[in-house]
Amino acid sequence: MRIVCIGGGPAGLYFALLMKKQHPGHHVTVVERNRPFDTFGWGVVFSDATMQSMRQWDPATAATIEDAFNHWDDIELVFKGRKIRTTGHGFVGIGRKKMLNILQERCIELGVELVFETDVQGDQDFPDADLIISSDGVNSRIRHKYADVFKPDMVMRPNRYIWLGTDKRFDAFTFDFQRTEHGWFQAHVYRFDDNTSTFIVETTDDVFKAHGIDQMDQDQSIAFCEKLFAETLDGHRLMTNARHLRGSAWLNFGRLICDKWSHFNGNSHVVLMGDSAHTAHFAIGSGTKLAIDDAIELTRQFDLIGHDKASIPDVLEAYEEVRRVDVARIQNAARNAMEWFEVVGKRYADTLEPEQFMYSMLTRSQRISHENLRLRDKDWLEGYERWFAERAGVNPAPNGSVPPPMFTPFTIRGMTLKNRIVMSPMAMYSATDGLPDDFHLVHIGARAMGGAALVFPEMTCVSSDARITPGCLGLWNDEQAKAFKRMVDFVHHQTPAKIGIQIGHAGRKGATRVPWEGIDQPVREGGWPLISASALPYLKHSDMPRAMTREDMDRVLADFVSATERARDLGFDILELHAAHGYLLSSFLSPLTNLRDDEYGGSHENRARYPLEVFRAIRVVWPEEKPMSVRLSTHDWYEGGNTPEDAAIFAQMFKDAGADMIDCSSGQVVKEEQPVYGRLFQTPFSDKIRNEIQVPTIAVGAISEADHANSIIAAGRADLCAVARPHLADPAFVLHEAAKIGYDEQEWPKQYRSGRQQYVTNLQRAQQAAAPTGKA
């Protein structure tokens, strides 16, 4: 095949040498606009996984690169006059110029044609090529030419950064945070050769402009950074190799994804690779990794499918299918890390103590978990766990056991929880006329005995016409109250758990069948009239609600107050107001479901007016010493709907009205929603509200093991973790998770203690059976 790689960066060079090595008969050319053995840039960071792949595909190149690597294990934080260091992180760095020179030399050795000082205008310059690799970077001309095919999505991020270097030799990957009169700056620093370190300085656009850096030239900008980070630089100077950039040389990062990566132009197949196809923020140092992994995967597909022209379409299809998954995973982690640095000033730096700030920074991508940190640096993590436990009110003996973060107590108003795990309210659809029965008693009682510190029955409806389905729980009469009393008394007398009640009104999502008879489908008979903020059905064929009148509002508010008074008299420990998931109060908050033109529609204040009226009314009758929480949909996941920024505004309003905690869920407001699922996908919403609004939060969503909960709690992303479906599968979820992580202090019910040792023994046997034996 005739192969042309446009752009002599890591992607183009590495793919060229791999293809020539695998099939020497290919005619492979790399065209680069710079001079031979010349490039711009400082250092790049590699992962161990990428190096392992490079050793497999071309040991000679891998060995040469590894000889030039700088290895370091430590991360050091410079923050608020403190230096904190942790080890075991295993980074490798190399100068970008050095790496590209190694790849260029290997290309020449293998017979790849290198063409320098040639500014390619587009794929039309190579009409005889069978395959054209567009590895011409983030500003790719070829991608721009075929934008209607590739459909690039470029989002410019708000932070400003400048990529500098210094001749100071740093022995750890160093993060230095400095506060000025206008806000925070951070430096990302790592050594990549014997004499030089990369020194990236970053800040928000507001701080950048407040200091007048946008009016500075490069020399003035560099002098500003030298003064700001003088202590860390210790007399060393900062250097630039970006004299070709105008002004201060500060940039905005562009996050790029493309809908399609390949195209047949009539003569040649064109495929995007590296930064021309996707970008990942330097916060996790993954841009070069993605480029190398692209090159390896495309080569692998040619090996699998065939090194001939006829195979190219199938190869490109398979390449994109495989790589798109891994790129999305890396981009998601990079996005989390990038967003952490974008909000660090307003969310963490002013409020977190250095110890927790360090933990939050280390786990910013959500790829590094609590137990992963233990593998990296056991001593540091155990020291942090002790620090965290002491601040939670635990006083462990100097050489005694320390509870992991999820097993520390938490106090809010007059309620103290034994640990940080909540059994989330989950609809069981098994009541008759709102009445709890033996099923509900056993369901709630089993989870309370299973170790959860706080258990909730499902959303409890404040009137018969507030139900989602005929099978939903209610608290509007004495018979229901009597049945709930059994549940509350059992939890209080037989378990160490607390029990809460979540009250709500289904609104336009009411009068539907129980899910196993047709989820969200209107009841066939015995329905009731629906009300909502506006006359909009949930589904096209759903019953039409009427827009609430003032009379309706007064009646429903009275129902909430009455249910709260009953819950108070029953002895529930905490009350949660359900204002999420598209139910009645949520329908007022979201602009997707609130189209009113009166004082209850339009602005945030107007949309929150009625939910706040309800909240204030029930706060008056709920005991002062007992906490109240509010469940919010912190993201509507649909264009024009509420975003996390809107949710923070509402959270502040409820906090000001007396809410003690915000339960941070998302979605279910409109059926057309397009949520982005993933590991702990809703935790960032809790993180934002807790640390920007300064109100305790409950995190929910895809939290399914102790490692998840410990990571969330330890980082300060939430105060409690609500676990739903895992509690359905395992009533003793908390007891079992404690055993899995070796936490022996979790108390089991006295009746079940004899089963604990058997459970632990079985875990140990399973671990031993899974461990490698070392035998052939």
Q: What is the CA radius of gyration of the chain?
A: 30
pLDDT of residue 776: 45
CA dist 198 to 75, 194, 285, 325, 397, Å? 15, 12, 12, 30, 43
User: Do 36 and 104 touch, CB atoms closer than 8 A?
Assistant: yes
- Where is average pLDDT lowest: 34-48, 166-180, 441-455, 559-573? 34-48
Across the range 123-138, mean pLDDT stands at 94
- Where is average pLDDT lowest: 140-149, 392-401, 415-424? 392-401
The tokens for 605 are: 């204040």
Say what the pTM is. Answer: 0.92
Across the range 124-128, mean pLDDT stands at 93
Confidence of residue 207 (pLDDT cuts 50, 70, 90): very high
Q: Write out pLDDT tens, residues 9-24.
A: 999 999 999 999 999 9
pLDDT of residue 211: 98
What average pLDDT does the chain have? 94
Q: Write out pLDDT tens, residues 306-323.
A: 999 999 999 999 999 999
Q: Is 413 left (phi over 0), alpha (psi -120 to 50) or beta?
A: left
Across the range 279-305, mean pLDDT stands at 90
Q: Is it the case that residue 247 has pLDDT exceeding 60?
A: yes
pLDDT of residue 243: 67
Confidence of residue 242 (pLDDT cuts 50, 70, 90): confident
Confidence of residue 334 (pLDDT cuts 50, 70, 90): confident
Would you name the residues annotated as active-site residues? Answer: 583
Q: Rounded to whole angstroms, how far apart are CA atoms 213 and 220? A: 8
- Where is average pLDDT lowest: 352-361, 704-713, 763-772? 763-772
Confidence of residue 429 (pLDDT cuts 50, 70, 90): very high
Q: Rounded to whole angstroms, how far apart are CA atoms 24 and 553? A: 78
Q: Rounded to whole angstroms, how far apart are CA atoms 148 and 151? A: 5
Across the range 342-359, mean pLDDT stands at 97
DSSP for 235-272, written as a single string: TPPEE-S-TTS-TT--EEEEEEEES--EEE-SSSEEEE
Confidence of residue 43 (pLDDT cuts 50, 70, 90): confident
Q: Write out pLDDT tens, residues 520-533.
A: 999 989 899 999 99
Give the pairing of strands 269-272 and 131-134.
Answer: parallel
Strand partners, 503: 460, 577
Q: Write out pLDDT tens, residues 378-418.
A: 999 999 999 999 999 999 888 888 999 999 999 999 999 99
Across the range 692-719, mean pLDDT stands at 96
DSSP for 605-670, written as a single string: HHHHHHHHHHHHHHHHHS-TTS-EEEEEE----STTS--HHHHHHHHHHHHHHT--EEEEE---SS
Read off the amino acid at residue 482: K
Across the range 727-737, mean pLDDT stands at 97
Q: At what angle do helices 96-110 and 10-22 cross, to 10 degrees?
A: 20
Q: Rounded to whole angstroms, how far apart are CA atoms 344 and 358? A: 12
